[in-house]
Amino acid sequence: MDIASASDKTLANAIRALSMDAVQQANSGHPGAPMGMADIAQVLWSRHLKHNPADPAWFDRDRFVLSNGHGSMLIYALLHLSGYDLPMDELRNFRQMHSRTPGHPEVGITAGVETTTGPLGQGLGNAVGFALAEALLAREFNREGYDVVDHLTWVFAGDGCLMEGISHEACSLAGTWKLSKLVVMYDDNGISIDGKVENWFGDDTPARFESYGWNVIRAVDGHDAASIHNAIEQARRNAKEGTGPTLICCRTVIGKGAPNAAGSEKVHGAPLGADEIAATRAALDWNHGPFEIPQEVYQGWDCREKGGAQQAEWQQRFDAYSQAYPELAAELARRLKGELPADYSAKVQAFIDETAQKAETIASRKASQLAISALVNVLPEMLGGSADLTGSNFTDWKGAEAVRAHADGVHFGRHINYGVREFGMAAIMNGVALHGGYLPFGGTFLTFSDYSRNAIRMAALMKQRVVHVFTHDSIGLGEDGPTHQSIEHANSLRLIPNLHVWRPCDTTETAVAWACSVERPTSIGMDVQDGGPSALLLSRQNLPFVERDAQTIQNIRRGGYVLRDAQDARAIIMATGSEIGLALQAQEQLAAQGIATRVVSMPCTNLFDAQDKQWRDQVLTPGIPRVAVEAGTTGLWFKYVGLEGAVVGIDTYGESAPAGVLFKHFGLTAEKVAAAVQEIL
């Protein structure tokens, strides 16, 4: 690279200066990591990273993930200096309301930020998803002489990321899959919030990653540009040769440049203070005021010309590819726009109609498999799997080809065996969704959603279209006992904003749940749409089919609707999933006693809550007493039944026994529901 009268050190010091100035002005933040990693960042971004600041969303750009997201001023400084649309005023407004420089990087807020990071380790998990998506798309779409998918994923990670268990889950998979275009630069500074990590983090990190099947470059001087450059060049060779992912261990000093604070936990998460900043400026020979960058430094950093040339070269290649393989090019373009196929609506509606015609009494997990089997033929972008429960979650389908690694890297497939790694699976799926090109879904038991929860939350925060298939949704799994029986999980997940939680009652509701989940707007990379993830809560036991007319089937999409009405209904019984059958039986029992009731199905309370007041009042008519029934905790349902209503549910942990025995034991019977209605009248 030509550096216009600016040395590597000077360019790196610009990062240090901006980081300490922004944190000082905000009076909060983390200057230590940006200052310690400045030299690594300078070499990567100015010499190696393939990106175009003028078009941050260019598809074949390299992906950069700052997994240690608390060091957010590092990426903000990089974006500003290299030519992205992030003016200095935004750096001055670091951590302030509605700025484009929030405390931790957020996708959709700042151009050039690929994923929201902060919860340590998840950025690394997302990066495995980025690399997996790139590798699979390359296998699916590249043709000899036309490598239109060919980019690397770079990760900055610190000690905290590698302490988190998710790093083990995700990095083990990355090694197994031979994701050679994944490069992690480990900021080995030996410091975390509480002090020297040697007292609680004694891992042999290089040996650990070697055991995963990674290439490891040890003991790189993280403050020597030549050493960093040589390590990155080796990582690039590893990527080209397909020898697996690479970990570059960079020994650094946290807060590098601060003469009194560097190397200590004191510089991790607090402003340096005016005196230390003055001393740092002197130590770095940085003779410029706060937020002042000399023109020659800007010139040395500017990546727009180089990035524009790289993108133009790729565009020429893609144009030639489009001429040679027009159908493949059109399919890739569709997916990268997040558009559904032209024939999607008709085919999906035909499948929903088919479920109504067949009227099958089967478990909703089996109904989900039927929906998946139909959708994968309509949506080639669907990429599914399970955390070692494929035969229970039913997330596979006839003819599904598994993702497997060979000597030359991962081979194309659409079904993923994640192993027993629920959290890793969820974070990887987030990365796949963020990358674009695939619609990820993955399965486990509902109880184990707890393992995935923070990644589910991050998908909701980032508005990513990810589908979680959670089977064995209640005490209905019986003999496995309370460790596996979901009691609080449905309502707990419903509390996550922007997550659509579906608990369908039969094949038709399950089909609609899947349709609504895949139809949520797609957020590709930095183009964040108002969509989000979905969670399907599915039964192990068979559920009776419920007949509906065409309009009632359409009403399922509203999240809550009248399933069975009665003239002059005196009470409303609402339910979800397996308890719909109990509600309908109770309705019949009460009718025999001259008590007319309405049965409301609430497969997705989140969607129902989003409906207009007219619809909500039409379904849950004000003034009519209400009873809710669900095989789980009762608290949330009082928002629908009111304090005068009743809820039939379970507020204790389950037991180990056959499902039928358990439902009677916990009072989940039609008789109990009917009695609850009579009590509130």
pLDDT higher than 60, residue 1: no
User: Pairing relation of β-strands 439-445 and 246-251?
Assistant: unpaired
What b/e string do you get for 555-568 counting C-beta neighbours within 10 Å, with b at 16 or more? bbebbbbbbbeeee
Mean pLDDT throughout 387-415? Answer: 96
Considering the candidates 90, 140, 169, 422, report the single residue annotated as catalytic: 422
Q: What's the pLDDT at 526?
A: 75
Judge contact between 23 and 29, C-beta under 8 A: yes
- pLDDT per residue as tens digits for the range 23-59: 999 999 999 999 999 999 999 999 999 999 999 999 9
Cα–Cα distance measured from residue 390 to residue 474, given in angstroms and rounded to the nearest whole number = 19
Arithmetic mean of pLDDT over the chain:
97
Mean pLDDT throughout 65-69? Answer: 98
SS3 7: coil
Residue 212 makes CB contacts below 8 A (sequence gap 6+) with 171, 172, 174, 175, 176
* Active-site annotation holds for 655: no
Q: What's the pLDDT at 4?
A: 42
- pLDDT per residue as tens digits for the range 210-267: 999 999 999 999 999 999 999 999 999 999 999 999 999 999 999 999 999 999 999 9
Mean pLDDT throughout 625-643? Answer: 98
Mean pLDDT throughout 401-413? Answer: 94
Q: What's the pLDDT at 180?
A: 98
Least confident of 127-131, 371-375, 388-392, 405-409: 405-409
pLDDT higher than 90, residue 2: no
pLDDT higher than 80, residue 60: yes
Judge contact between 269 and 95, C-beta under 8 A: no
pTM score, whole prediction: 0.98
- pLDDT per residue as tens digits for the range 555-582: 999 999 999 999 999 999 999 999 999 9
- pLDDT per residue as tens digits for the range 309-327: 999 999 999 999 999 999 9
pLDDT higher than 60, residue 680: yes
Mean pLDDT throughout 293-301? Answer: 96
**Structure tokens of 488?**
């609080």
Q: Residue written as tokens 């969303």?
A: 57
- pLDDT per residue as tens digits for the range 498-512: 999 999 999 999 999
Percent of the chain with pLDDT over 90: 97
Residue 483 makes CB contacts below 8 A (sequence gap 6+) with 447
